[in-house]
Amino acid sequence: MAMQDARTPENGSEPRKPGWHKGYVSGSRPDIRVPVRRVHLTNGKDVTLYDTSGPYTDPHIDTDVRRGLAPLRENWIVARGDTEEYAGRALRPEDDGLKHTSPRGGLKNLDAVFPGRPRQPRRARTGPQGEGAAVTQLAYAKRGEITPEMEYVAVRENRTPEFVRDEIAAGRAVLPANVNHPETEPMIIGKNFLVKVNANIGNSAVTSSIEEEVEKMTWATRWGTDTVMDLSTGRNIHTTREWVLRNSPVPIGTVPLYQALEKVDGKAEDLSWEVYKDTVIEQCEQGVDYVTVHAGVLLRYVPLTARRKTGIVSRGGSIMAAWCLAHHQESFLYTHFEELCDILRAYDVTFSLGDGLRPGSIADANDEAQFAELRTLGELNRIAKSRDVQTMIEGPGHVPMHKIKENVDLQQEICEEAPFYTLGPLTTDIAPAYDHITSGIGAAMIGWWGTAMLCYVTPKEHLGLPDRDDVKTGVITYKIAAHAADLAKGHPGAQDWDDALSDARFEFRWEDQFNLALDPDTARAFHDETLPAEPAKTAHFCSMCGPKFCSMKISHDINEQFGSDEGGTLTEEEVREGMLAKSREFADAGGRVYLPVAD
């Protein structure tokens, strides 16, 4: 799987001097090494940027998707002594959507089963009464402990470890890190940290192979996604996820309901707590870091969607609505929520409480169904938090600009500032094929107002399955939204990136502009298409006509305030002469507004 990055020339011509290198910032101990992207400027300075691309962009690390990434966090997890390996659930054909063939028959590509190091799943040790220990970052934070994961994200975010701990303890941030996904580079999601981006991938029976999904994941992290959700349906779900997890440097999220539905042949009414629970445990053992759970879809909310323009558009939401209607009972996700908490707590899997009733059109935004569910998510958040399970809350969807802020404000109030994780929102329905843009607008705004993570939308939304280019476009658009939000929030240091790029632009340091760009390849290509290279230029305002002279002598309005050298005000004649002298100076110096300055 060839990663395209700044180290690799894109064509057969002479290799370009790399514009950046992978660096590491050390923490308090040798095994805390936080990756960064160091951009080398032609003026000799370096700019350090957040890096999500994992070991793939480190030329000193030899990666191999068949072996998987090194288990970076394993020693930290083991050293805590509160987990143990166990035999784990036996793999079954239906985990991959297979019925009558051998378990591994029918898999596509990469020789199917992941060949990497053998592993047993790990979970919390059970206590004397059989109860599982809380092995979550939330439990540690509440106890006042600072884990290596917390210190790692503190370095990554330029915050103190204590600040990170306190945000997690308060439930204002989550650090998704399943004990069975030691390959992750810890990251944090919360409104007092950098706004994060999620990219969805996922195979479907029709179109994509395991290999393609793994490549989409590394490709998305290359462009800056902070987490990836694997929304695979159809066959090979289990095996695809194994490949993705073992090769992912970022947290992986899923919707277990999708796999559970496959296990009952797509019949929503045949779902049960038993099938669902088994699926959740299967995914916890594999290492999924967070799971979307649509536990807020209550039977009595379903009719509230009856008069909507677009009804229920969330796949999980409509599955649960169908189940509720079929049984005329509250869903097993709601009635078994506490048991579910106890399962997730044993692996440190984070809840992403799904908004199954999110609006799917401008007309349906902020309606009764949506906010009724949000209030239930608020209840569930309190339960999860009390049981030491990290929790974030999902949000819409389709919302016109003037109704966006209410979404964040309500969610923050109802869910006690738990991280908000929104899909867009799309600010208009009229532009299929451009919904990365309709939603990028909403995402930037909702990020500014306090949303912690933005789930991307690609140009193919509503129309088809995203390919590699769509994934890149989606990630770049959402990185723009997230960074615009960081700027608007006044996040410490966020503007340094803009400043470095604008300095380069003003000084015509083209190479620096490209290397600092979110997408250096495209910026360089666009430039090379039409514009010739321009000479470098150093810039500063002309020294002879500084602020003092001009503000004093040009304006008749303020003439009285300032004295001439002789202590009096200037006569008109003196002003005219001064102006003439300045005019000559300007001409003599070449008539340029900005002059080179040695600095």
522 binds a copy of itself (CB under 8 A): yes
Confirm or reject binding of residue 527 to a copy of itself (CB under 8 A): yes
Which residue is it, tokens 């300007």?
586
Q: Is 229 annotated as a binding residue?
A: yes
Query: Pattern of binders to a copy of itself over 248-277, x per CB under 8 A?
Result: -------------------xxx--------
Consult the annotation and say whether 315 binds a ligand: yes
d(CA 423, CA 442): 9
Least CB distance to a copy of itself at residue 594 (A): 6
358 belongs to an annotated ligand binding site:
yes
Please state whether the peptide bond connecting residue 397 to the residue before it is cis, i.e. omega within 30 degrees of 0.
yes
Among the listed ranges 113-121, 174-182, 278-286, 437-445, the one in contact with a copy of itself (CB under 8 A) is 437-445
Q: Mind giving me the DSSP string for 243-302?
A: HHHHT-SS-EEE-HHHHHHHHTTT-GGG--HHHHHHHHHHHHHHT--EEEE-TT--GGGG
Nearest-CA neighbor of 424 among 408, 410, 442?
442
Q: How many chain residues are in contact with a copy of itself, going by CB under 8 A?
A: 114
Q: Is there a binding annotation on residue 299?
A: no
Query: 182 to each of 54, 79, 137, how far by Cα in Å?
Result: 13, 13, 14
Name the nearest CA neighbour of 195 among 21, 421, 389.
421
Phi then psi for residue 253, to 5 deg, are -110, 155
Instruction: Candidates 1, 79, 433, 533: give the one binding a copy of itself (CB under 8 A).
Output: 433
* 294 is an annotated ligand-binding site residue: yes
Quote the least distance from Cβ 390 to a copy of itself, whole Å.
Answer: 29
> In b/e form, how buried is each residue of 452-486, taking b as 16+ CB within 10 angstroms?
bbbbbbbbbbeeeebeeebbbbbbbbbbbbbbbbb
Least Å from the CB of residue 437 to a copy of itself: 6
Helix 273-286, helix 337-345: angle, nearest 10: 20
The minimum distance between CB 317 and a copy of itself, in angstroms, equals 10
Question: Considering the complex, what minimum distance in angstroms separates the CB of residue 51 from a copy of itself?
Answer: 15
- Residue 165 counted as an annotated binding residue: no
Here's the x/- map for a copy of itself, 473-502, by CB under 8 A: it reads as: ---xx-xxx-xxx-xxxx----x-xxx-xx
Contacts of 153 (CB under 8 A, 6+ apart): 159, 164, 175, 186, 187, 188, 193
Stretch that binds a copy of itself, among 65-73, 133-141, 174-182, 574-582 (CB under 8 A): 574-582
| Closest by CA position to 431, among listed 392, 399, 460 | 460
Give 118 or 547: the residue with its C-beta nearer to a copy of itself.
547
HSE-up of 226 (CA within 13 Å, CB side)? 29
According to the binding rule CB under 8 A, does residue 598 interact with a copy of itself?
no
- CA 81 to CA 59: how far, in whole Å? 34
How far, in whole angstroms, is CA 585 from its chain's centroid?
54
CA distance 346 to 343: 5
Q: Does 220 bind a copy of itself (CB under 8 A)?
A: no
What is d(CA 440, CA 325) in angstroms, rounded to the nearest whole number? 35
From residue 279 to residue 308, the character string flagging contacts with a copy of itself as x (rule: CB under 8 A) and all else as - is -------------------xxx-xxxxxx-
Nearest to 60, CA basis, from 20, 21, 17, 14 = 21
How many Cβ atoms are within 10 Å of 597's Cβ, its own excluded? 11
For residue 539, state whether it binds a copy of itself (rule: CB under 8 A): yes
**Smallest gap from residue 592 Cβ to a copy of itself (A):** 8
- Name the H helices within 422-571: 435-448, 468-488, 494-506, 510-516, 520-530, 547-553
Among 252, 321, 340, 455, binds a copy of itself (CB under 8 A): 321
Q: Is 562 in the site for a copy of itself (CB under 8 A)?
A: no
436 labeled part of a ligand binding site: no
121's CB contacts (< 8 A; 6+ apart) are 85, 86, 88, 89, 180, 284, 285, 286
Distance CA 20, CA 41 (A): 9
Q: Quick one: which of 309, 315, 336, 382 contacts a copy of itself (CB under 8 A)?
A: 309
Residues 157, 212, 512, 519: which binds a copy of itself (CB under 8 A)?
A: 519
Single out the segment in contact with a copy of itself by CB under 8 A; choices: 55-63, 162-170, 325-333, 335-343: 325-333
Cβ closer to a copy of itself: 321 or 414? 321
Binder of a copy of itself out of 448, 471, 474, 509 (CB under 8 A): 448
Is 258 annotated as ligand-binding? yes
* Binding mask of the shown chain, residues 31 to 70, with x at each position contacting a copy of itself by CB under 8 A: ----------------------------------------
Give the whole-angstrom CA distance, residue 296 versus residue 198: 22
Q: Which of 272, 517, 559, 564 binds a copy of itself (CB under 8 A)?
A: 517
- Residue 254 Cβ, how far from a copy of itself at the closest point, in Å? 22
Q: What residues form DSSP beta bridges with 50?
A: 36
> By C-beta, is 248 or 318 nearer to a copy of itself?
318
The only residue of 197, 217, 362, 570 in contact with a copy of itself, by rule CB under 8 A: 362
574 part of the interface to a copy of itself, by CB under 8 A: no
516 forms part of the interface with a copy of itself (CB under 8 A): yes
Q: Is 394 annotated as a binding residue?
A: yes
Which residues are annotated as part of the binding site for [4Fe-4S] cluster? 542, 545, 550
Which residues are annotated as part of the binding site? 200, 229, 258, 294, 314-316, 355-358, 394, 398, 421, 462, 542, 545, 550
Which residues are annotated as part of the binding site for Zn(2+)? 398, 462
Which residues are annotated as part of the binding site for substrate? 200, 229, 258, 294, 314-316, 355-358, 394, 421
